[in-house]
Structure 1
Amino acid sequence: MTPPRLSLLALLLSAALGGHAHAADASAKRAITHEDVWLMKRVGAPTASPDGKWAVFAVTDPAYDSKEQWSDLWIKSLADDTPARRLTFSKGGEGALNWSPDSRQLVFVAKRDGDDTGQIYRIDVAGGGEAQRLTTLTLGARQPKFSPDGKQLLFVSDTFPGAAGEDDIKKIAKERKERKYNVRAYESFPPRFFDKWLDDKQVRLFVMDAAVGAKPRDLLAGTKLAALPGFGGGQGDEGQSLDAIWSQDGREVVFSASINRDEAARAAGYTQIFSVAAAGGEAQQLTRDQHSYRALKFSKDGKTLFSLTEAEEPGKVYDVSRIASFAWPIADPAPKILTASLDRSISRFVLPDGGNRVVFSFEHAGLEQLHSINYAGGDLRAEPSLPTGSIGSLSAGGKALVGVWESAINPPEVYAFGNGAPKRLTSFNTERAAAIDWQAPEHFWFKASDGRMIHNMIVKPAGFDPAKKYPLFAVIHGGAANMWRDQFVLRWNYHLLAQPGYVVLLTDYKGSTGYGEEFARAIQGDPLKGPGDEVNEAVDEAVRKYGFVDGARLAAGGASYGGHLANWLQATTTRYKAIVSHAGEMDLVMQWGTSDSIFGREVNSGGPVWGNLPVWREQSPVMQAGNHEKGTGFKTPILISVGELDYRVPANNALMNFATQQRLNVPSKLLVFPDENHWILKGDNSRYFYSEVHGWLAKYLK
């Protein structure tokens, strides 16, 4: 796919929408601050009502003190231009929104006064009044969905092994809370996930009448499926999830689940599609391959089931996500792949009424824009989108299509799509954004030494003067299956990093998504060196292409996989004056043995750590320590940071990194955040982190 071209019409539409904050008088603007980044209101994904008349979404009003932070639901008419209004007034926040079929009621999950865990609440949007709590389960409830007739709710909750019902669950929870000893015991992998130690709770599907005091029924209780040792769902912050929906006649629940979770340490996981009668009974497996299926949706007439799917090709590190469909009821378990000819990963899709078209977005070269395809898998076409930025969510109700759009200089707002030019529906952040002196990222491509075309973005600082010379800070994205997007970023905000007077370079090295399956798989067997070489080549190209870049003042840094590459650059070159590494891997073998994900690392390196494969040693940064004496690495001053609760890239990597630097007498500083995980998510910690990054760069890029 060639780089996208921005049409004059699209640019005019964007200007008419007021989408680009830099259009105002630059002389009246100021440089971005951490307060600007942190205190921008955080606009959540809108959920359109079935009749297409309303959209409801969460808005978080952030604060540095989490006790002062608020999050509420807002509602916006899709039929007129009346401003959005607040629907709830609760500090704790609400999520997992779902409309009743008649568009009059809304259910959501919240943890309010008296709730130890998240519970399902219902609010009468049409009639008004306070939200009512519908569940009081010991282990909470999540992912609620109204039945097609609006009389029942489907949701996900958990149970303990051996528990026969809620009374047993309550009893076991009480016993565990009161027991004298304290231990975690495991017989399957992984024992922990991101920042949480996992436990033995088992995920289940429940159905209940949509009424206060109704008793939930465990649909999978006593089934052979739930008894399988590998049964489970995707792991998230709130526990495992089962992607479940109602059939259009309300007689069945269709869901995707894994049956090989117990093989996570030695095999790729995959999720299959199942169904179970809404009245209960044994679940039926509907697909019988080793692909993964998720994001299930039925067509309006109930005759077609759609999903996203990944092929989970054996021995490969990455599979693009494609849109699949099945005639319902499923007779042939082989899916029809609608986007088979599109070598891009579909991020999300919706099914607006009328037209028999699937509307979706996919990653490409820093952008997320709208496209559509017909139900037969033909007539792929672009839909009206803004020429820059990224679509971060989509929801369809009736013929209405809403979502969140953002760019690096436009914090997220709710937009209407699908009926001509995109239309901004909210203005929570536009005034604050308009006061900031910032420019949209500039895109450029170059041909790497291996022949691949590499996409990059350049971000310029406030008060930019092309006649001046600026230090370059190459910021490396994580993943590696990820890409830099033209979007407003909280954790590594491009403009805040550039604010002291740096040009920020954002490179999508091989292994990145958004450029096709082969490009993302190209790091297999070459986890650090190849991508690191391309980052270096991107820096060379930026120095050559832009006269305002000072090639004698270079720095590099990143987090997660970006931290891995930052460590690799520090170990293998002395071209940079400073390095910043957050959550960075130092030793491939240690990372394999202590992280919450191991099999994919084996696939990427060609085999297990005991297989005498050279990559485990040759591409571990710590094993390049001999470069110090050669003068080819381990010389650059490095700022190392880590969250103590990070179980994805555990803190032992940072400790090894710091020990290595100190052993070699390299200027180095270690920051350990005791209450942070893989990311720095607390306001004051974030402000301190940015100040340390700025201070480190200033010290060595004078």
Structure 2
Amino acid sequence: MATSSPRPSRKAPPLTVDALWQLERVGAPSLAPDGRQLVCTLTRHSMADNQARSQLWLLPTQGRARARALTACGDKDGQPAWSPKGDRIAFLARREQEGERDATPQLYLIAPDGGEAQRASRFAPGIEAFKWQPDGRGIVFSAWVWPELKGAAAQSRRFKAHAERKETGYATSEAYYRHWDHNLPEGRVLHLLRLDLPSGRITDLFEGTELELPRDGEAGATAWDIHPSGQRIAFQHDPAARKRPSNRLAVAELDMRTRRVRALADDPQWDFGAPSYHPDGHSLALCAAETGRSHKALNELALVEGLDGRRPSWRVLTARDWDHDVEAPLRWADAGQALLFCAEQRGRRLLWRHTRATTQTAALHTEGWVQAFACTGDTLVLAADSAQHPTRLLARSLAAAGADTPRRLERWNDALLARHRLGAVQEQMVAGARGEPVQCWITYPVDFDPKRRHPVLHVIHGGPYAAAGASFNYRWNPHVLAGRGHVVVQVNYHGSSGFGFTFRDSIMGRQGELELQDLEAVTDWLQRQPWVDGERISASGGSYGGFLVAWMNGHVKTPGRYRSYVCHAGVFDRVATFAADSYMERPRDLHARYWEDPARVAAQSPHSAAQHFQTPTLVIHGARDYRVPDCNGLAYYNTLQARGIEARLLWFPDENHWVLKPRNSKLWYQEFLDWVVRHDQPAAPKKKR
């Protein structure tokens, strides 16, 4: 299938927030065992209903057959995975079937040639993530359970009682008790269980032990892997007796028959994850980060060998000068002779292949941002977006990767995009802090004229260990933000990911310092461009980017240099932010605890420079934000009000660190752009007395 798309007319409008939410969002692909078909989720949002609906779609990877919807009855069908024989597809859903409505996600099975999906599980606490066993007779899944109980029936009874309770208080003595936007299930931990498909029987594989999967649950099914024999499971866990956020993780192996557990990779100086068995079962690939050197050490590719012996050992595979962060999942390819994985590089997320025979690591796919991938035999399928389009599905040959042209497998968003214009996107390097080059991405408005002067909007990414890049962002889409005529600039300041460990580590213990120098250096560069209106420059940011915007308000030397700020979910007070779910990690970033070195913490906190605030600011926050609790946004807004500085607050009682509901997102964009445009104009000169 050709990769070209219909081009919009020169009179087409820029991308709008309504059009953004009409785009169909493509999920991670799962390949059939023969590589001839894939299944993925396709999510559609309704602005009218303020809801999302996800279906499974089946696509051929070869030939001219068309994509077709596989499911239609569910609202949020997700995580599809082919059975080992290719005769069934398992997925998670909450449905009503035969008069029974799911209260929690359950496992369903459907034949790839269609028909009615059948519920395969009835486990009241619900299923978080799953994998097929190699023989296709069982499913291993993760679920939140009460560890002291025995048997699925007891779990179901306790779940029913818990769901029907009248009390709303949350009592805990745990150090790790909430994550992102939810309290961790009170009294429950994340276990691995097995579902026997023929009988429907469920067995808790961790029952009677102290074992549990990482409590954040973010690794999903990459937190464990099943041995090719189907009898052993390698899994990621916190070996410490007291579970805390940011504890190092180890990898162990469970014998499903004897329930014996042995350590595969457990070292106080290292953090391990993403286990992936070699096809012959004799070794296991891992991600390994030397956290004893730095808590922000990059993940390296590692291998555990000697699995059939008594004393397995592990070693790092990637070269010591390979300065990238290996990301899960890890996939074996080329009959076990190579490993595939993603890693960022200079504002892009590439797919890499590490070849064992040569010990060389090379990029396979170098365009845009690879969101997900799957491979089997010689077939490689990627879900990738770019700065100019949302996620697309591409197929290519593993053997010819690098020499072949990716084949696009779908056309879902082409018609809608053809009705809107997108501005050009440019990558630019500017000398920043310490004279080191920093990357910035410039998105131009659709009617950009280099002979005219345009307003500029900084959009500062969060993290800080993240990056702005060649990716299509739905929450801070630069094309929508450029829709009112702004040139949108995204700076990958010191601390950003994808530029090596030293660049990432440089901001530790002095947060705000180098980053501000980078942002100011880019603003200086912008001021020298003939197409920039130097009196109409604004800055916005979210999360750590919000911290930087609040930091700028108290530390930018030139009054009025920025016409306005937008601070979304930004850190304002470092001490108050100890209420965050990441409270154990933040002192490592600051190189200080507030009760031991209050001056050093205060020196990295925007609130300490409140006396210098003077720039009008729109403050945005969500009440369900546990990463940066909303006391930050409210305190910042109140401080601006108390000091008589123009400010506006947009507060969402039902949103977390992000704004995820269509109607709320539309309001977010409207308030954001209205604020910036209103402050674009220079202040009126004061009248002489």
TM-score, normalised relative to structure 1: 0.90
Contact 1:408-1:440 at 8 Å conserved across structures: no
Task: Specify the code of the residue in structure 2 equivalent to 1:272.
Answer: A
Deviations 1:613-647 (A, max 9, x none): 533112211111232xxxxxx11100001011111
Distance (Å, rounded) in 2 between the aligned partners of 1:321 and 1:374: 18
Counterpart position of 1:358: 339
Counterpart position of 2:22: 39
Counterpart position of 2:285: 306
Per-residue deviation, 1:28: 4.1
Counterpart position of 2:464: 480
Counterpart position of 2:687: none
Kindly report which structure 2 residues correspond to 1:93-172, keeping only aligned pairs within 5 A, or say none.
93-113=76-96, 114-126=101-113, 128-172=114-158
Counterpart position of 2:616: 637
Per-residue deviation, 1:32: 1.2
Counterpart position of 2:568: 582
Per-residue deviation, 1:439: 2.9
SS at match of 1:141: coil
Distance (Å, rounded) in 1 between the aligned partners of 2:423 and 2:644: 40
Per-residue deviation, 1:500: 0.3
Counterpart position of 2:543: 560
Q: Does 1:445 align with 2:429?
A: yes
Select 2:61's aligned residue among 70, 74, 78: 78
Check 1:62–1:328 CA distance in 2 against 1; reply closer, same or farther (3 A cut).
farther
Contact 2:50-2:663 at 8 Å conserved across structures: no
Counterpart position of 1:596: 581
Contact 1:233-1:240 at 8 Å conserved across structures: no
Distance (Å, rounded) in 1 between the aligned partners of 2:306 and 2:264: 11
Contact 2:318-2:361 at 8 Å conserved across structures: no
Task: Specify the code of the residue in structure 1 equivalent to 2:232.
Answer: E
Per-residue deviation, 1:242: 7.4
Task: Specify the code of the residue in structure 1 equivalent to 2:171.
Answer: A
Per-residue deviation, 1:240: 7.9
Distance (Å, rounded) in 2 between the aligned partners of 1:240 and 1:367: 24
Distance (Å, rounded) in 2 between the aligned partners of 1:382 and 1:242: 22
Distance (Å, rounded) in 2 between the aligned partners of 1:339 and 1:37: 42
Distance (Å, rounded) in 1 between the aligned partners of 2:221 and 2:331: 20
Per-residue deviation, 1:179: 4.3
Contact 2:573-2:605 at 8 Å conserved across structures: yes
Counterpart position of 2:261: 283
Per-residue deviation, 1:486: 1.2
SS at match of 1:588: coil
Contact 1:318-1:521 at 8 Å conserved across structures: yes
Check 1:54–1:234 CA distance in 2 against 1; reply closer, same or farther (3 A cut).
farther
Per-residue deviation, 1:182: 3.6
Select 1:512's aligned residue among 488, 496, 503: 496
My pick for the range that moved more, 425-434 or 369-378, is: 369-378
Distance (Å, rounded) in 1 between the aligned partners of 2:652 and 2:50: 19
Q: Does 1:700 align with 2:675?
A: no
My pick for the range that moved more, 49-58 or 154-163, is: 154-163
* Structure 1 residue ranges without an equivalent (≥5): 1-12, 628-633
Task: Specify the code of the residue in structure 2 equivalent to 1:264.
Answer: R
Distance (Å, rounded) in 2 between the aligned partners of 1:150 and 1:181: 42
Q: Does 1:273 align with 2:232?
A: no
Distance (Å, rounded) in 2 between the aligned partners of 1:497 and 1:596: 30
Contact 2:222-2:274 at 8 Å conserved across structures: no
Counterpart position of 1:625: 610
SS at match of 1:401: strand
Contact 2:440-2:490 at 8 Å conserved across structures: yes
Counterpart position of 2:240: 260
Check 1:41–1:421 CA distance in 2 against 1; reply closer, same or farther (3 A cut).
same
Q: Does 1:374 align with 2:355?
A: yes
Counterpart position of 2:44: 61
Distance (Å, rounded) in 2 between the aligned partners of 1:132 and 1:557: 48
Q: Does 1:92 align with 2:92?
A: no
Deviations 1:109-155 (A, max 9, x none): 111111000011111225x4211111101101232222112122211
- RMSD of aligned C-alpha atoms? 2.1
Q: What is the number of residues matched between the two proteins?
A: 664
Contact 2:213-2:235 at 8 Å conserved across structures: no
Counterpart position of 1:608: 593
SS at match of 2:313: coil
Check 1:90–1:577 CA distance in 2 against 1; reply closer, same or farther (3 A cut).
same
SS at match of 1:279: coil
Per-residue deviation, 1:345: 1.2
Contact 2:22-2:44 at 8 Å conserved across structures: yes
Select 2:229's aligned residue among 224, 234, 249: 249
SS at match of 2:645: coil
Task: Specify the code of the residue in structure 2 equivalent to 1:323.
Answer: L
Check 1:263–1:160 CA distance in 2 against 1; reply closer, same or farther (3 A cut).
closer
Q: What is the percentage of aligned positions where both structures have the same residue?
A: 28
Task: Specify the code of the residue in structure 1 equivalent to 2:630.
Answer: A
Contact 2:152-2:203 at 8 Å conserved across structures: no
Distance (Å, rounded) in 1 between the aligned partners of 2:127 and 2:659: 28
Deviations 1:465-504 (A, max 9, x none): 1111111111100000000021111111001111101001
Deviations 1:379-400 (A, max 9, x none): 33232543xx211111112221
Task: Specify the code of the residue in structure 1 equivalent to 2:105.
Answer: G
Contact 1:406-1:487 at 8 Å conserved across structures: yes
Distance (Å, rounded) in 2 between the aligned partners of 1:617 and 1:514: 29
Per-residue deviation, 1:531: 1.0
* Structure 2 residue ranges without an equivalent (≥5): 682-689
Per-residue deviation, 1:30: 1.9
SS at match of 1:334: strand
Task: Specify the code of the residue in structure 1 equivalent to 2:19.
Answer: D
Per-residue deviation, 1:241: 6.9
